């Protein structure tokens, strides 16, 4: 199931809720934090197999979620999974919004769910979707306090050494200024927060929750993780100018007469642009450039090299023209977008 109007609605609500952070007032701090909310969400997503998997975590904690709860989440899997810029109808709510929210126990989580329900009602969400959302919300509320008692204390301890290690690595970072220099953009969103989570070693990591908060599986290969911290900061810095073009180009590629699924192209272009800038900052190939999954990074970076050689410096223009140049390689009719 691809991203839908309701998913976008919740994404917009999330952005609006996250836009109240204080703005930059001096040196930007890169903060690594351990919070229960995102850890609970990734716990559920991992134990229910909602695009996250982790054999070691399952062996330790697989019995802490009742089969009935797993069955309910699995039943609505297509509504909850996400990745590569697309997502199920309720992923925006039950992964991103819940992870970004604050609640201390099942009662306060129920109030959070009630708040989401009122939001959805105000936008006249269909009854069928409301019923599905209520069934998922019940799983979240019913199993929260057991997680907080039986799982989270040890999960938190497991992450603390890595949290300290990452904080030490970031003490002498310069990538905020480096990214401002190479893009010409200015960061004005205050400190940058990384939320570590324990479950889900395999899954869609590096998921932004609001304008200055990102999430990451805590124990990845260190060099790759450090490269991705810079990469993701670049995504955040560029997103105001590029996100509108992403949505425009998603609609555009769906209109093209092609036997290939091109829905990955707008996402792949943006991620590759971040890799390209990351290499410029580092003065050589970075781990995100070498290991960014299915984004076709090397092809895009060659395109960005050619475009920048013509004098194009604005990231948004590089992004838009980069997509068109990539689609030309597929011999598609593109005259209306050239």
Q: Report d(CA 278, CA 299) in Å as an integer.
A: 16
Averaged pLDDT, 312-334:
91
Tens of pLDDT, residues 26-51: 688 999 999 999 999 999 999 999 99
- Six-digit token pair at 231? 């990469």
The number of beta carbons lying within 10 Å of the beta carbon of residue 130 is 13
Distance of CA 217 to the CA centre of its chain: 12
Tens of pLDDT, residues 169-202: 988 778 899 999 999 999 999 999 999 999 999 9
Instruction: Enumerate the domain spans of the chain.
Output: 5-217, 225-328
Per-residue pLDDT at 336 exceeds 70: no
Q: Report d(CA 180, CA 284) in Å as an integer.
A: 18
Quote helix, strand, coil % in the chain, to nearest 5: 60, 10, 30
Q: Report d(CA 225, CA 215) in Å as an integer.
A: 12
Tens of pLDDT, residues 118-158: 998 888 889 999 999 999 999 999 999 999 999 999 999 99
Averaged pLDDT, 90-116:
97
Contact 56, 201 (CB under 8 A): yes
Tens of pLDDT, residues 234-289: 999 999 999 999 999 999 998 898 888 898 899 999 999 999 999 999 999 999 99
Split at pLDDT 50, 70, 90, the class of 337 is: low
Give me the pLDDT at residue 124, please.
Answer: 87
Q: Which string of b and e fits 41-60 if b means at least 16 CB within 10 Å?
A: bbbbbbbbebbbbbeebeeb
Per-residue pLDDT at 312 exceeds 60: yes
Give me the pLDDT at residue 322, please.
Answer: 97
| DSSP output for 197-260 | ESS-SBS---EEEETTEEEEETTS-HHHHHHHHHHHHHHHHHHHHHHHHHHHHHHHHHTS--SS
Distance of CA 101 to the CA centre of its chain: 15
| DSSP output for 281-331 | HHTS--HHHH--TTS-HHHHHHHHHHHHHTT---HHHHHHHHHHHHHHTTT
Per-residue pLDDT at 7 exceeds 50: no
Average pLDDT of the chain?
90
Contact 111, 76 (CB under 8 A): no
Number of residues assigned to the chain: 338
Give me the pLDDT at residue 261, please.
Answer: 84
C-alpha closest to that of 147 among 102, 81, 199 = 199
| Residues paired with 216 in a beta bridge | 196
Residues in Cβ contact with 165 at an 8 Å cutoff, skipping those fewer than 6 apart: 222
Q: Report d(CA 20, CA 262) in Å as an integer.
A: 35
Split at pLDDT 50, 70, 90, the class of 338 is: low
Give me the pLDDT at residue 308, please.
Answer: 98
- Six-digit token pair at 168? 């030490």
């Amino acid at each position: 199931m691809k991203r839908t109007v309701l998913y976008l609605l919740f994404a917009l609500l999330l952005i609006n809720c996250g836009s109240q952070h204080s703005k930059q007032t001096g040196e930007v701090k890169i903060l690594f934090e351990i919070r229960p909310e995102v850890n609970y969400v990734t716990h559920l997503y991992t134990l229910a197999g909602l695009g996250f998997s982790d054999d070691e975590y399952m062996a330790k904690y697989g019995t802490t979620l009742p089969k009935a709860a797993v069955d309910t989440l699995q039943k609505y899997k297509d509504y909850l999974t996400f990745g590569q810029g697309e997502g199920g109808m309720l992923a925006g709510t039950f992964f991103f919004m819940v992870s970004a929210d604050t609640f201390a126990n099942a009662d306060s989580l129920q109030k959070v769910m009630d708040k989401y329900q009122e939001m959805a009602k105000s936008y006249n969400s269909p009854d069928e979707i409301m019923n599905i959302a209520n069934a998922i919300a019940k799983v979240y509320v019913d199993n929260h306090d057991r997680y907080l008692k039986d799982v989270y204390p040890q999960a938190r301890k497991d992450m603390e050494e890595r949290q300290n290690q990452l904080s030490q690595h970031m003490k002498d970072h310069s990538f905020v200024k480096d990214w401002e220099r190479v893009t010409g953009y200015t960061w004005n969103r205050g400190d940058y927060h990384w939320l570590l989570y324990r479950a889900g070693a395999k899954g869609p990591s590096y998921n932004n929750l609001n304008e200055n908060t990102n999430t990451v599986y805590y124990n990845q290969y260190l060099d790759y993780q450090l490269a991705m911290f810079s990469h993701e900061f670049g995504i955040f810095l560029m997103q105001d100018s590029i996100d509108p073009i992403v949505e425009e180009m998603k609609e555009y590629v769906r209109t093209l007469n092609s036997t290939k699924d091109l829905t990955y192209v707008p996402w792949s272009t943006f991620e590759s642009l971040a890799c390209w800038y990351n290499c410029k900052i580092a003065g050589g190939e970075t781990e995100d450039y070498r290991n960014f999954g299915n984004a076709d990074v090397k092809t895009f970076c060659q395109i960005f090299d050619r475009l920048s050689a013509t004098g194009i410096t604005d990231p948004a223009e590089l992004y838009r023209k980069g997509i068109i140049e990539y689609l030309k390689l597929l011999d598609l009719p593109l005259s209306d977008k050239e």
